[in-house]
Amino acid sequence: MNKVLDKNEIEMLVRRYLKETGVSLAKRAAKREYIVAANWKMNMTEKETKKFLKELKETDIADNIRVMIFPPYPYLYIFKEMLRYEKIAYGAQDVAKEEQGAYTGEVSAAMLGDMGCPLTLVGHSERRSYYGDTSEIVAKKAKAALEHQISPMICIGETLEEREGHRYQEVLKEQLDAVYAGLGSRISGCLIAYEPVWAIGTGVIPTLEQISETHKYIYQVLRSYGVAGEEIRILYGGSVNAGNVKEIGSVRHVDGFLIGGASLKAESFKHIIRLASEV
């Protein structure tokens, strides 16, 4: 006779399912799934979030596409409830570098892991420039996440001054080296988002040559750490929209997108998902 599970046992199974989904995200991504990720930043309301997810759940998502959404912390629970068995992954926009304790306002990786959250962003340029997240802090945050089976998406990128001063490779390498120093071979469990700071929210897009050359460079740096080619996933972020997604997506070593502004309206995000599946 089948045993009837009590509420705690069901909760435990669901948590295990969500954790396993999270652990395997980077591995699954290695199967050349194309990632379309949304960074909502400090936008959306509870009502808008529910409406957005309802619409997204009703959409057919092609097999080669993996959708990820990074909402504000208070809405993560909605994702947990509404996306239980969906192909859409979600994550936090940041995580504390400390394990626990007197750090008012912080949210630990253990807490995110507890609620079954499979992903987190770290090192977004807004965190680096407004909140002083250095590359060493970013590395510690990524390490904390991995210790709780949360896959970090590590954002890197140069400023306009660094690009124009031809120092962007140096800057990107410094950002990656710091993560490698903190994680060693576990860097292969991270997703990388290349986001030139000058392209974020500005409508300015690097040329396809610049994207191609920079993604190739990041790929080579990761390879120099011993990361296997098939494990490397480099997303492009910065003013991506329905008008440029196919062009950028066709560039070698662009494995997906991290999208801010154009991810806030379900219609526009769904359109981008559809176009990305045709790349």
| Nearest residue (CB) to ligand PEP, 162 versus 195 | 195
Smallest gap from residue 138 Cβ to ligand PEP (A)? 15
| Nearest residue (CB) to ligand PEP, 18 versus 272 | 272
The per-residue b/e assignment along 183-218, b for 16 or more CB within 10 angstroms, e otherwise, is beeebbbbbbbbbbbbbbeeeebbeeeebbebbebb
Rounded to whole angstroms, the Cα distance separating 276 from 279 reads 5
Rg (the chain; Cα; Å): 18
Q: Enumerate residues 6+ apart whose C-beta is below 8 A from 199.
A: 205, 206, 237, 238, 239
Q: Residue 241: phi, psi to the nearest 5? A: -150, 180
Catalytically active residues are 124, 195
| Nearest residue (CB) to ligand PEP, 18 versus 92 | 92
Smallest gap from residue 218 Cβ to ligand PEP (A)? 16
Rounded to whole angstroms, the Cα distance separating 152 from 26 reads 9
Residue number with the smallest Cβ distance to ligand PEP: 260
Contact yes or no for 124/92 (Cβ under 8 A): no
| Nearest residue (CB) to ligand PEP, 206 versus 237 | 237
Smallest gap from residue 248 Cβ to ligand PEP (A)? 12
Smallest gap from residue 36 Cβ to ligand PEP (A)? 12
Which stretches of the chain bind ligand PEP, using CB under 6 A? 39, 195, 200-201, 237-240, 258-262
- Cα 70 to its chain centre, rounded Å, is 7
